[in-house]
Structure 1
């Protein structure tokens, strides 16, 4: 996805017909009308999508850690679905520049999706997503080969909205698990969870998911009841090796093999400006910490600091300079490994779709 980010007032969001903080699927005509309405405002165009934000942040953290501590550099690849239009070319170029290896080619005659991100003065964000050309999600031979070699496979929850998702995601998870890889799943947003709850539960109940990322609202939609972050982490953590539940300014909770860690938010002197991408950054922080072999508490601290860096200014993705500051500020880990399946204790690469 390509992000089109703009700072607007509450009245502008109200005129879109969507509640502030929610996400709506729009048509190409609706996108054109919105961009025309934003014409008098400044907006920023960037390679985006939740998965891309996580990948780029993970890459920047890995490079910073390599420079600061001499750690290893995991190879990070992306199995994406993009069009062969200008937006797709822009997205691919930005990802390669960030050190992400693209493991799939743009499809001829297709258009790339875009997300209009509207940020209000209270740092809340509202999403209007155009999904691009309708494409069936399939696993090519190259994709299967990449998954079979990976140590960590991350499946983005928004993929459930694509035709063929159930079969492709199930196949990818099985292939990864058969190869000894850790499978991580993100939940997207509460509305998406409500629409695809059965698909999420199918993967969780059959043991296909090792790591689950969600915020409290998404976890509540999955469990079909209001929950605290601790309650959600405990309940969902019983279905996988690790469940990380974020709760905005209240911090987060991580459950792993019967252990529950309450992680406070990492506060800075800067007032939050834009919460868009905070969850993606948190995910990247936890992934980096796991790939670095940190213990559970250190994983939580790293995640909180990465998320805090992103919300302090406009834009959804961690920059290389911010990654350097985050890595330099991290306390040394105690050397204990995170309680995740032993087959993936020493990951050297991550493949994400």
Structure 2
């Protein structure tokens, strides 16, 4: 660890992601089928296509949140009692101003860069069906202009971890910003955490993700489907074993079963919390926020995972990707239970 980090320790995690305004809607399965969407996954689309979906949601009650995967994780970190810094890109428009204000109110120190281009702030229509599955319809907008030069290296030097979302691989400039964050982190002695984000990304950028894992990452976040895609292997246990050979610490979530902690070639199952899920959006982000809080505040990986499982179990019981208010008062009770 650098001297700068030892003296400061002021920020737990430096998050980098697509700054997206989430538009949340509860729909029936027929709506997803009608629009030919990848049920349970994320579909990139232009403004016109997304506008058609929003038009068909005119009679549906909608909620808005400052979102994007890494932003939701930073909020989970803050609600755990940690301190996060977030870097993303929005436009100088109504949604961009909403995003800035909402993130500020959530307690996140941020540098949400106003883009100079004329494009809109990115938006993600989150469709949740009765079985709690979420389908994402994303127009990245100006978030695709996040560049390596937007990464505040001085701020990064005061952080314990950086956290990069796999969704950034969808556009060339954010991909460069991701690599810049990781390379600067390694130079500064800041640990690197990376989330695969979605199975389709693992498939499309397989070589890149394997290189990132082997060359940069201290912590990997993924779910069962993503790690199966990563290793082209159906057995989750075999995937965990293979992950143990290339990563010092990986956390593999598996729905209500909890997660697997793969650490120093040891594999430990950490049980989930039995709850009735109504909406799975944000569960993985909340899990990562809880784990990152634990790792940066003295918890073992298994206790950090238990806290992450708890936050995820709370998020799936509400509509939307984030809990309201601080959860820190529950920490000791949860990790000692």
TM-score (normalised: structure 2):
0.89
Instruction: Output the aligned Cα RMSD.
Output: 1.8
Partner of 2:159: 150
Residue 148 of structure 2 aligns to a residue whose secondary structure is coil
In 1, Cα distance between equivalents of 2:303 and 2:142: 41
**May I ask how many residue pairs the two structures share in their alignment?**
317
Structure richer in strand, relative to its length:
2
Offset from partner CA, 1:111-152 (integer Å, 9 cap, x none):
211111111111111111111137444223761222233210
Offset of residue 324 of structure 1: 4.4
Q: Give the 3 Å change call, closer, same or farther, for CA 8–218 of structure 1 in structure 2.
A: same
In 1, Cα distance between equivalents of 2:143 and 2:101: 23
Do the aligned partners of 1:26 and 1:129 also contact (CA within 8 Å) in 2? yes
Q: Give the 3 Å change call, closer, same or farther, for CA 134–61 of structure 1 in structure 2.
A: closer
Offset of residue 80 of structure 1: 0.7
Partner of 2:261: 254
Do the aligned partners of 2:233 and 2:239 also contact (CA within 8 Å) in 1? no
The structure 2 residue matched to 1:36, chosen from 55, 70, 74, is 55
Do the aligned partners of 1:55 and 1:284 also contact (CA within 8 Å) in 2? yes
The structure 2 residue matched to 1:263, chosen from 243, 264, 270, is 270
Partner of 1:327: 331
Confirm or deny that 1:112 pairs with 2:116. Answer: no
Confirm or deny that 1:6 pairs with 2:25. Answer: yes
The structure 1 residue matched to 2:78, chosen from 29, 34, 59, is 59
Offset from partner CA, 1:234-292 (integer Å, 9 cap, x none):
32232222100011122210101122110111124xx2111111101111111111122
**Shift >6 Å, 4+ stretches:** none
Confirm or deny that 1:297 pairs with 2:305. Answer: no
Offset of residue 231 of structure 1: 2.9
Partner of 1:85: 93
Partner of 1:339: none
Do the aligned partners of 1:111 and 1:132 also contact (CA within 8 Å) in 2? yes
Correspondence 1:1-353 to 2 at 5 A: 1-62=20-81, 74-108=82-116, 109-133=118-142, 135-140=144-149, 143-206=152-215, 208-228=216-236, 230-268=237-275, 271-321=276-326, 323-324=327-328, 326-327=330-331, 329-332=333-336
Do the aligned partners of 1:150 and 1:176 also contact (CA within 8 Å) in 2? no
Q: Give the 3 Å change call, closer, same or farther, for CA 325–231 of structure 1 in structure 2.
A: farther
Q: Give the 3 Å change call, closer, same or farther, for CA 92–198 of structure 1 in structure 2.
A: same
Residue 65 of structure 2 aligns to a residue whose secondary structure is strand
Residue 18 of structure 1 aligns to a residue whose secondary structure is coil
Offset from partner CA, 1:1-23 (integer Å, 9 cap, x none):
01111111111111110232121
Q: Give the 3 Å change call, closer, same or farther, for CA 273–203 of structure 1 in structure 2.
A: same
In 1, Cα distance between equivalents of 2:57 and 2:199: 27
Residue 126 of structure 2 aligns to a residue whose secondary structure is strand
Q: Give the 3 Å change call, closer, same or farther, for CA 134–312 of structure 1 in structure 2.
A: closer
Offset of residue 93 of structure 1: 0.7
Do the aligned partners of 1:57 and 1:319 also contact (CA within 8 Å) in 2? no
TM-score (normalised: structure 1):
0.85
In 2, Cα distance between equivalents of 1:332 and 1:19: 40
In 2, Cα distance between equivalents of 1:237 and 1:82: 38
Partner of 2:4: none
Q: Give the 3 Å change call, closer, same or farther, for CA 45–166 of structure 1 in structure 2.
A: closer
Residue 141 of structure 2 aligns to a residue whose secondary structure is coil
Do the aligned partners of 1:6 and 1:119 also contact (CA within 8 Å) in 2? yes
List gaps (5 residues or longer) in structure 1.
63-73, 334-353
